[in-house]
Structure 1
Amino acid sequence: MNILLKSTKIVCPENRELHLKKRDILIKKGIIEKIAASIDPPSNTKLVDLKNLHVSLGWLDTGVSFGEPGHEERETISHGLHVAGKSGFTDIVLYSSTSPVPDTSSDVVFLKERGQGKATSLYPLGTLTKNSEGNDLAELFDMKNAGAVAYYDFKQQISNPNLLKIALQYAQNFGGLVFSFPQEGSIKGIGVAHEGVVSTTLGLKGIPALAEELQIARDLFILEYTGGKLHIPTISTAESVKLIANAKKKGLDVTCSVAVHNLVFTDESLQDFDTNYKVSPPLRTQKEIKALIKGLKDGTIDYITTDHIPMDVEEKRVEFDNAADGTLGLESAFGALNPLFGVEETVALLTKGHERFGIQSPSLEEGQKACLTLFDPETEYTFGMGDILSTSKNSMFLGAPLKGKVYGIINNSHILI
């Protein structure tokens, strides 16, 4: 199929000749055939002429959960990739949050095969340890050969420092990337909310910022000793930003991410005990948000993730202490980030990270594969239940004012709008 994008504003700082220019873009068999001020549509061409159409390179999300295998009622891989595409993401890194967890090469192959033939490309994580139990390393090398882009015991600390040391040393043999979740479990204890005025007032057990910062400090000391590649997902405190900034100044190979919701909401949102606001790491304070945004702007924080985690209503419609952690994030991501950073910086943040995960970076040039996100950055609206495309509905963004609507993507010779 031929596709012609009409009068689209290109947001692509990497291409100075086209950045912020209005152009027609002709795509043939998944390849960008021509970019020009005006193109007459050839025969058998799908014309895309949408209100205030903007286009950028495809977006990458470095942390997404679905459910399959084991929790298909939350979200299947097929439908989850459809949601990701409609939310603007051409590539997603899939968390190792399934049941059973992907700790062998055959598990990784299954995930890759389930993601084949979709507009959005799926890149799975394998677990770091067998069964994510934190005792013995999983089949890291075999999983890499099967297509795993990194290793992560989903939302679980690596409690044994020697295990992290060995993992970082071993993974260097094949360029493996190790994730370490930033939360010290003994200090977190049975906490369910940020430790502070709000948790005390509401009578909720607190999670100190120290639980995150102590784990990060330990991990960075180990990384300095071993070398290797470390990624710290979903940081949430100001001190964490400082620790990672200092590590980068030392030349350590460390990257980190922050979840969209930790840039938007504070623990004040817990006043009504709405379990959609229960996430890990927890929502913190405005002071932390300010430091996280600053960390993104100066490059200390490398990536933004939606940290999209679908959950059944039964897992959320319980007492706050007993509710599962997690919120949806794909559908609301662009509309939440756009008011914070503006369209150019938001796009820059959402297109980062391909090289870190061994994913080929797209290019917006004639002759290159079409890997594009289509959107309107100006539409303002209140995020409602009708905006949720996921099977599960546990979004903390319900009722939030957003700016920017995503039309869809063109990728892998598919158009999804």
Structure 2
Amino acid sequence: MNILLKSVTIVNGNTKNLHLKKRDILIKNGVIDAIETTIEPSGKTKVIDIKNLHVSLGWFDSGVSFGEPGYEERETIENGLLTAAKSGFTDVILNTSSYPTPDSASDIVYLKNAAKDQLTDLHPLGNLTVKGDGEVLAELYDMKNAGALGFYDYKHPMANANLLKIALQYAQNFDGLVFSFPLDKSISGKGIVNEGITSTKLGLKGIPSLAEELQIARDLFILEYTGGKLFIPTISTASSVKLIAVAKKKGLQVFCSAAAHNLVMTDSTLEDFDTQYKVMPPLRTAADVKALQKGVKNGTIDFVTSDHTPLNIELKHVEFDNADFGSIGLESTFGMLNELLGIEDTIELLTKGRSVFGIKEPELTVGQPANLSLFTTDDAYEFSEDQILSSSKNSIAIGKPMKGKVIGSIANNQLVLNK
């Protein structure tokens, strides 16, 4: 398939000679054939010529959840990857949120086979412990050999500090990446929202910032003792950012992410008791949001993730106490970040970090496979249910201001467009 992108603005800070320049890009059989001021189409070539069209390297999400296997009504792998492609993401890391959870090499092979021949590449994680129950380490080495890029008991904190220590020591033998969800459940108890003025006013059980920060402090002490590589997903508090910044200055191999919605929303949105805002970690205070934004800009926070979590309607349309945690986010992450940070910082965030997981970084140069995201930058709008592509509709972003729209993506010699 031949594709010609006409008069596209290239957003790629790694190639200064092309950054923010308008060019035509010709793609032949999945490979970038030419980048010129003007290219005339010839033969059977699909021409994409859209006003204000921009292009960057394909985007990467460090943590998404689909439903398959076990919860296909929430999201199949096929539709999840199509949603990702239409949302501009050409690589996604798949969380261990299915049923059964993947804790063996055969489970990893199943997930990779289910994702074959899609535009967006799926990179599965394996459980850190058997069934994610936090008691016995899973088959980490076998899963690594089968294609697992890290080990994570999805949103289940590791209560056993010694088991985390052993995991970090063992995984060093094969350069394994160990995840630890930042929550001390003995502190969080039955909390469901951030502990503070809003939770008190609404009469909702709170989760103190301390619950996150205490777990992170413990994990960083263990990492300093053991060495190895530790990933702390979806941090949400100001002190968490400080703890990780200090650890990085010490030279520890620690990486972290923040969910896009935790960068822009505070717990004040909970006043309507809308269960779409019930997420884990919870929405925090304005001071926390400001600290997260600063952490993203100075590099303390390595990734901004959609934290895409599709859920059945009956898991959200219940009383706030009984609703499940989670929101979809693939469709809204770009518009949310562009509204907050502007296009250059947004694209830098969405394209960096594959190397942490051992994924080859794409290049926007002639002769390289085309791995590209297509988007506009100036369209201002409010996100609505009509823009949801997922099978589930539990979006925290409905009604929120967005800037810029995703047109589609190109990868694996495939093109997916939203229009």
Q: TM-score, length-normalised on structure 1? A: 1.00
Deviating 4+ runs (over 6 angstroms): none
The aligned counterpart of 2:309 is 309
* CA distance in 1 between partners of 2:146 and 2:13 (Å): 34
Matched ranges for 1:302-341 at <5 A: 302-341=302-341
Cα distance in 2 for residues equivalent to 1:386 and 1:91: 24
Q: What residue in structure 2 maps to residue 53 of structure 1?
A: 53
Amino acid of the structure 1 residue aligned with 2:177: L
Aligned partner of 1:91 in structure 2 is 91
In 1: Cα distance, 2:352 partner to 2:361 partner: 9
> What residue in structure 2 maps to residue 360 of structure 1?
360
Whole-angstrom distance in 1 between the partners of 2:396 and 2:16 = 37
Correspondence for 1:260: 260
1:382, CA displacement in angstroms? 1.0
Q: Distance in 1 between matches of 2:51 and 2:110?
A: 40
**How far apart are the structure 2 equivalents of 1:51 and 1:111?**
38
Does 2:26 correspond to 1:26? yes
Deviation per CA, 1:300-347, whole angstroms, max 9, x where unpaired?
111100000000110001111110000011000011000211100100
Deviation at 1:42, TM superposition (A): 1.8
- How far the C-alpha of 1:117 sits from its partner, in A, is 0.4
Map 1:154-193; keep pairs closer than 5 Å.
154-193=154-193
Q: Does 1:11 align with 2:11?
A: yes
Shift of 1:363: 0.2
Secondary structure of 1:321's aligned partner? helix
Match of 2:249, as an amino acid?
A: K
CA distance in 1: counterparts of 2:254 and 2:401, whole angstroms: 34
Q: Which 5+ residue runs of structure 1 have no aligned equivalent?
A: none
1:350-389 matches, within 5 Å, as 350-389=350-389
Question: Is structure 2 residue 412 aligned with structure 1 residue 412?
Answer: yes
Residue 143 of structure 1 and its aligned partner are, at CA, apart by 0.4
Q: Is the 8 A contact 2:96 2:154 kept in 1?
A: yes
Amino acid at match of 1:91: D
- Look up the SS of the partner of 2:201 in the other structure: helix
Q: Supply the distance in 1 between the matched residues of 2:272 and 2:249 (Cα, whole angstroms).
A: 42
Determine the structure 2 residue equivalent to 1:201.
201
CA offsets 1:281-312 (integer angstroms, 9 cap, x no match): 00001100000000111111111000000001
- 1:62 corresponding residue in structure 2: 62
CA drift of 1:353 comes to 1.1
Q: Which amino acid aligns with 1:157?
A: P
Post-superposition Cα deviations, 1:46-69, rounded to whole Å, max 9, x if no partner, equal 111112100000000000001000
Tell me, what secondary structure is at the counterpart of 1:283? coil
Q: Distance in 2 between matches of 1:401 and 1:149?
A: 34
What is the CA distance between 1:246 and its match in structure 2? Answer: 0.4
Task: Give the deviation of 1:211 after TM superposition.
Answer: 0.2
Q: Distance in 1 between matches of 2:219 and 2:401?
A: 38
Partner AA of 1:277 in structure 2: Y
Structure 1 segment 137-148 matched on structure 2, within 5 A: 137-148=137-148
Q: What do residues 173-197 of structure 1 show as CA deviations (whole Å, max 9, x unaligned)? A: 0000000000001111100000000
Q: Structure 1: how far apart are the matches of 2:281 and 2:397?
A: 17
- Three-state SS of the structure 2 residue aligned to 1:360 is coil
1:130 — aligned with what?
130
Task: Report whether the alignment pairs 1:225 with 2:225.
Answer: yes
Question: What is the identity, as a one-letter code, of the residue corresponding to 1:173?
Answer: N
Q: Does 1:275 align with 2:280?
A: no
Q: Distance in 1 between matches of 2:120 and 2:321?
A: 35
User: Partners of 1:324 and 1:147 in 2: how far apart?
Assistant: 30
Check the 8 A contact 2:313/2:394 in 1, yes or no. Answer: yes
Please tell me whether the aligned partners of residues 193 and 206 of structure 2 are also in contact (alpha carbons under 8 angstroms): yes
Partner of residue 103, structure 1: 103
Question: Aligned partners of 2:369, 2:392: CA distance in 1, in Å?
Answer: 33
Cα distance in structure 1, aligned partners of 2:143 and 2:42: 45
Is the Cα contact below 8 Å between 2:339 and 2:401 reproduced in 1?
no
- Unaligned residue ranges in structure 2 (runs of 5+): none
Normalising by structure 2, what TM-score? 0.99
Paired with 1:4 and 1:108, the residues of 2 have a C-alpha distance of 36
Aligned residue type for 1:263: L
The one-letter amino acid paired with 1:181 is F
Equivalent residue number for residue 120 of structure 2: 120
**Contact 2:337/2:346, CA 8 A, preserved across alignment:** yes
Between the aligned partners of 1:77 and 1:42, the Cα distance in structure 2 is: 36
> Identical aligned pairs, as a percentage?
63
Provide the C-alpha distance between the structure 2 equivalents of 1:402 and 1:327, rounded to a whole number of angstroms. 17
- Structure 2 Cα separation of the partners of residues 49 and 123 of structure 1: 32
Q: Secondary structure at the match of 1:378?
A: coil
When the two chains are superposed, the root-mean-square deviation of aligned CA atoms in Å is 0.5
SS in 1 for 2:378: strand
Please name the residue that 1:216 is paired with.
Answer: 216
Counterpart AA for 1:123: H
* Paired residue total: 417
Contact 2:69 2:100 in 1 (8 A): yes
Shift of 1:6: 0.3
Which digits, 9 at most, give the CA deviation of each residue in 1:71-90, with x for residues without a partner?
00000000000000100100
